[in-house]
């Protein structure tokens, strides 16, 4: 235990240090934009598009209200969620008989592949993974009949996971509820259900009267468009990762995809192994099932990095169930070395020094103390931008993938719910609704940077802007268009 605590402290300190050297990404800028709009009084889902569960938004909103709306605050939260995942995996593996060396091997792989400073995932994804780890660990604890503690933790974790990202929460709910029913009896099932209901109700209450309807529309019904435009299979995801990776990052990228494949293969093998420990095999199967389900429909490198803790748990739990000392110690040692090499590659100074460009700035509003490798303005008075803000009144719809960074950096107001203007976000009706808003004057200005191409491009909306709107003036963000006569 002292070794694990010391290692956890070192990992936490390293993650906090390294997170300040990673450039701001479009995804995390978008999430902060969602939180900031809610902080200023707009309603989640109805006024602000958001396609996952509300819990991470409420947590982030409480954090920025207590401190300030800075992305650094959200990164500290992400490190906390990652450490929670480490602890949950350690507890689960310990409950099924894993040794300290095996737990350390799991941690090294998780840090090397999935540390938040190496693959910034949206906060809702990290929250869902952390809650999934807690739920699986509680299920692995296997509360005895009449002892409902672990069952209640599993229920609360399943609800937190579902209220963070339902595509992960669904499998976690099925697995933990089934395990509770088998191991904990009627009392445990009641405790599970009560804890699940309590967390779910607390998450849904702030949505007001029409919030649940909009949650269903944004987070569930709209997914048909996401499936059609944003799906990426594992082969295409690996090919894309290898095309963009350089040097030592290529083996790490390949290993990330291999980790999920090995985890998904090892779990059923452990279940079928004649002499396997059943508890460890079931934990491996549960972690692999959740990881495989969560990899659909977008199995690209960022998503698989986020799922690496579950895949790692599956691999090590399967190892624990089948192989016994001293062979297990040798295999765990190999995993420990591989994880350490991956962590070293991820933390290499050359990755931090590669951040360059005209937008490199440590003092952009909302992004202070973080590098911004984008040419975003440093505020309303930035060169070439103040005239645009004055002309539009600061109310403009930005039709570019990094729109959220501009909204935050220049203190602009988006007259639409869509801060990430991809086809997958607009859903079946969003582009038509936006076009109607432009025609009636509710969206007076539209700024287009380089036209988007590919499956995620909002083709209908872009065609409308170019065909029926007229260019008004140029600004650093692109060309600003208006409807003739407005």
Each residue of 36-81: pLDDT tens digit?
999 999 999 999 999 999 999 999 999 999 888 899 999 999 999 9
Task: Kindly state the average pLDDT of the residues 108-129.
Answer: 80
Q: Which of 88-92, 107-111, 392-396 has the highest mean pLDDT?
A: 88-92
Asked whether the predicted pLDDT for residue 140 surpasses 80, the reply is yes
- H/E stretch holding 97 reads none
Asked whether the predicted pLDDT for residue 486 surpasses 90, the reply is no
Structure token digits, residue 286: 């549960």
Confidence of residue 350 (pLDDT cuts 50, 70, 90): very low
Beta bridge partners of 367: none
Q: What is the DSSP string of 351-415?
A: HHHT--STT--S-STT-TTS---S---SSTTSTTTHHHHHHHTTB-EEESTTHHHHHHHTT-B-S
d(CA 204, CA 94): 34
Within 10 A of 357 (CB to CB), how many other CB atoms are there?
12
Asked whether the predicted pLDDT for residue 341 surpasses 80, the reply is no
Q: Nearest to residue 448, comparing CAs of 462, 434, 438, 468?
A: 462
Verify cis geometry, omega within 30 degrees of 0, for the bond prior to 188.
no
Say if CB 389 and CB 470 are below 8 A apart. no
d(CA 338, CA 335): 5
Residue 44 sits at φ, ψ, to 5 deg, of -60, 140
Least confident of 20-24, 146-150, 388-392: 146-150
Task: Kindly state the average pLDDT of the residues 205-223.
Answer: 85
Per residue in 210-229, is it b (16+ CB within 10 Å) or e — as a string?
ebeebbeebbeebbebbeeb
d(CA 128, CA 123): 9
Q: What's 21's DSSP letter? A: G
Q: How far is CA 473 from CA 18, 36, 384, 432, 481, in A?
A: 41, 28, 11, 25, 7
The whole-number pLDDT of residue 468 equals 94
Q: Nearest to residue 252, comparing CAs of 132, 327, 332, 351?
A: 351
pTM to 2 decimal places: 0.92
Task: Kindly state the average pLDDT of the residues 279-295.
Answer: 91
């Amino acid at each position: 235990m002292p070794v694990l605590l010391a290692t956890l402290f070192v990992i936490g300190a390293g993650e906090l240090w390294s997170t300040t050297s990673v450039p701001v990404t479009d995804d995390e800028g978008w999430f902060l934009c969602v939180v900031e709009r809610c902080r200023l009084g707009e309603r989640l889902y109805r006024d602000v598009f958001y396609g996952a569960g509300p819990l991470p938004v409420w947590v982030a909103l409480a954090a920025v209200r207590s401190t300030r709306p800075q992305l650094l605050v959200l990164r500290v939260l992400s490190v906390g969620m990652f450490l929670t995942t480490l602890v949950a995996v350690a507890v689960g593996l310990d409950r099924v008989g894993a040794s300290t060396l095996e737990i350390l091997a799991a941690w090294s792989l998780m840090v090397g592949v999935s540390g938040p400073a190496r693959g910034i995932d949206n906060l809702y994804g990290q929250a869902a993974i952390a809650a999934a780890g807690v739920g699986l660990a509680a299920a692995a604890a296997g509360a005895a009949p009449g002892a409902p503690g672990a069952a209640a933790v599993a229920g609360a974790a399943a609800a937190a996971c579902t209220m963070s990202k339902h595509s992960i929460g669904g499998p976690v709910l099925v697995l933990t509820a089934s395990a509770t029913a088998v191991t904990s009896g009627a009392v445990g099932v009641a405790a599970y259900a009560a804890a699940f209901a309590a967390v779910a109700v607390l998450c849904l209450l702030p949505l007001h009267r029409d919030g649940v309807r909009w949650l269903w529309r944004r987070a569930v019904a709209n997914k048909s468009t996401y499936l059609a435009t944003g799906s990426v299979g594992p082969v295409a995801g690996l090919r894309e990762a290898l095309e963009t990776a350089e040097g030592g990052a290529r083996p790490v990228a390949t290993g990330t995809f291999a980790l999920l494949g090995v985890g998904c293969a090892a779990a059923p093998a452990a279940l079928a192994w004649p002499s396997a420990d059943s508890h460890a095999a079931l934990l491996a199967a549960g972690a692999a099932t959740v990881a495989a389900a969560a990899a659909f429909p977008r199995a690209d490198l960022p998503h698989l990095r986020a799922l690496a803790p579950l895949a790692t748990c599956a691999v090590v739990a399967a190892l624990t169930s089948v192989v016994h000392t001293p062979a297990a110690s040798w295999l765990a040692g190999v995993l420990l070395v591989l994880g350490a090499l991956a962590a070293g590659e991820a933390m290499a100074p050359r990755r931090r020094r590669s951040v360059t460009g005209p937008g490199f700035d440590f003092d952009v509003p909302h992004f202070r103390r973080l590098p911004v490798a984008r040419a975003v303005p440093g505020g309303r008075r930035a060169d070439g931008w103040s005239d645009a803000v004055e002309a539009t009144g600061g109310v403009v719809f930005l039709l570019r993938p990094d729109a959220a960074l501009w909204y935050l950096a220049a203190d602009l107001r988006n007259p639409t719910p869509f801060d990430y203007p991809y086809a997958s976000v607009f859903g079946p009706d969003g582009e038509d609704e936006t076009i109607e808003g432009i025609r009636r004057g509710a969206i007076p200005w539209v700024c287009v940077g380089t036209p988007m191409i590919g499956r995620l491009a909002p083709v209908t909306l872009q065609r409308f802007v170019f065909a029926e709107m007229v260019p008004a003036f140029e600004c650093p963000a692109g060309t600003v268009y208006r409807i003739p006569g407005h």
